[in-house]
Amino acid sequence: MSVQEYLDKHLLSRKIEDAVNAAVRAKAPDPILFISNHMRKAVPSAITKIRARQILDSRGIPTVEVDLYTNKGMYRASSPSGTAIGMYEAVELRDGDKGKFLGKGVSKAVKLINEKISETLIGMDPTLQAQIDQAMIDLDKTENKTELGANAILAVSIAACKAGAAEKEVPVYKHIADLSGKSEPVLPVPAFTVISGGKHAGNSLAVQAIMICPIGAKNFMEALQMGSETYHHLKSIISEKYGSNECNVGHDGGFAPNISSFSEGLDLVKEAIDRAGYNGRIKLAMDVAATDFCIGRKYELDSKALNKSGQNFKTGEEMIEMYTQLCSDYPIVSIEQPFDKDDWEHSKLFSALGICQVVGDDLLMSNPKRIDRAIQESACNALLLKMNQIGTVTEAIEVVKQAKDAQWGVIISHRSGETEDSFLADFAVGLAAGQIKAGAPCRGERVAKYNQLLRIEEELVGQAVYAGENWRFP
């Protein structure tokens, strides 16, 4: 027996003796359970093993999944992925081998986790999230995570966050609240995707999503009910007007009827809200994703139409006029990415009108430098936080703080390529974001987030606050 083995053996004996004595002093009704819990708490907190694998996301494209082990158990997390990859966001590491998964494989990212990241993090305390994330950032040594890949780093970061919560014996949302300095958890208002277009669907609609926001619900459970009922009424309306073949759905679960105009889609949703009986209690939101149909300095609204007229181009000023009219005609409270990712000028002009929440997506890319510029120039007034665009839990918390300090709204957002990981729900609650965008109230990878919010609300009975009318500033 080595000296270390001798010391370990006697240390364990002393801990067992301490646990037995504690059980006697406490007059524990179940001594075995008491001793087991006492011993579990006595074991030092440490990451003991990390294993990664390649899985498929909701689009059938590979992504990274991680199992992170501590003395308490195993904690699993996965990275989402977007359809469009922006030049200002953290790099997603792909294999590039066209012979496997059309070049979209992530075996390189998996190998880096199993060899380099694992070696660096084993032995670290999972409750020290900032130190774990910084260790991976230091290992990567690049500004945008080119070396290890944001998809690899994020999956490990989320798994570590779950392990940290378990080590503290608190829910994940409570651990996130502790990490961010928040005190009161808030259930967010969901922005349910009900009509899909843009790059997320095969129809002719340029706008990427039309969403419904049940701001008038009294709690999250009712919000989910309102969203589900409206969604199914919309399905019936689309079937009646266009036929059942038009009820196919896009990446996010929104219906994708072959419509081409913003107003046609908004009319369908407004009718569904009326039919469901929630007129006035549900507001509308749009994700325009205008970068996708910006040609030069103009916006081609029939960019996806089979028979393009070549006439449906709008200038930035004309787009502002269109949005202003739409907000007057419909109960729209939020418009996401109304202009191109580099069209700061028109984004500033539209934001200055103050007629709705103006959300930066491609404009910001969850990048703190871009967010700072937007704050200084008043280019928008809300952040769309996509965790894989920045790469770690700690950095995501920091940019949310950055946005909130500027009195911005914050939306915690899914991606078009999602997994059944429900971490996003805990993240939104823990940060008291007030808004979450996780897709339609259908498809397993989308409702996984909404169902987790239901569980959290149930757990917080009597304490839970639903953002509701305070959705921007909960």
Catalytic sites, residue numbers: 252, 386
Which contacts of 87-90 are long-range, i.e. CB under 8 A and separated by 24 or more positions?
88/341, 88/365, 88/367, 88/370, 89/144, 89/150, 89/365, 89/366, 89/367, 89/386, 89/388, 89/389, 89/390, 90/144, 90/145, 90/150, 90/153, 90/388, 90/389, 90/390, 90/391
- Please indicate if the annotation marks 361 as binding a ligand: yes
- Please indicate if the annotation marks 287 as binding a ligand: yes
Distance, CA of 386 to CA of 433 (rounded, Å): 13
Distance, CA of 292 to CA of 199 (rounded, Å): 8
289: left (phi over 0), alpha (psi -120 to 50) or beta: left
- Please indicate if the annotation marks 421 as binding a ligand: no
Secondary structure, 3-state, the chain:
CCHHHHHHHHHHHHHHHHHHHHHHHHCCCCHHHHHHHHHHHHCCCCEEEEEEEEEECCCCCEEEEEEEEECCCEEEEECCECCCCCCCCCCCCCCCCCCCHHHCCCHHHHHHHHHHHHHHHCCCCCCCHHHHHHHHHHHHCCCCCCCCCHHHHHHHHHHHHHHHHHHHCCCHHHHHHHHHCCCCCEECEECEEEEECHHHCCCCCCCCEEEEECCCCCCHHHHHHHHHHHHHHHHHHHHHHHCHHHHCECCCCCECCCCCCHHHHHHHHHHHHHHHCCECCEEEEEECCHHHHEECCEEECCCCCCCCCCCCEECHHHHHHHHHHHHHHCCEEEEECCCCCCCHHHHHHHHHHCCCEEEECCCCCCCHHHHHHHHHHCCCCEEEECHHHCCCHHHHHHHHHHHHHCCCEEEEECCCECCCCCHHHHHHHHCCCEEEECCCCCCHHHHHHHHHHHHHHHHCCCCCEECHHHCCCC
Binding-site annotation, residues: 287, 336, 361
Binding-site annotation, residues for Mg(2+): 287, 336, 361
